[in-house]
Amino acid sequence: EIGLWFVGVDGGLAARAIDGGLGLGAAGRLNLTAGLVTVFGRYVYWPEDVGAEHVVQIGFTFKIPVWEDE
């Protein structure tokens, strides 16, 4: 992942179980973080999947801080 201030970008290999085998693809994601909330958009390309080879997902991540006594 590469990030600057509140923007992050990452990518890599994607894998999923499909028809009793393993489907491989490529994924990229853009993250926008503000405090404890991250909004992300992800694009996944599945070269072996006919009809659904391009997938776009949008989601939220909520972060919960954990305090530790020293």
Which token pair is 19? 């028809």
Q: Which of 24-28, 32-36, 50-54 has the lowest mean pLDDT?
A: 50-54
As a whole number, mean pLDDT of residues 27-55 equals 90
What local confidence, expressed as pLDDT, does residue 32 receive? 96
User: What is the distance in angstroms between the CA of the first residue and the CA of the last residue of the chain?
Assistant: 30
As a whole number, mean pLDDT of residues 43-51 equals 84
6 Ramachandran zone, left/alpha/beta (phi>0; psi -120 to 50): alpha
pLDDT digits (tens, 9 = 90+) for 11-27: 999 998 878 888 899 99
What local confidence, expressed as pLDDT, does residue 50 receive? 66
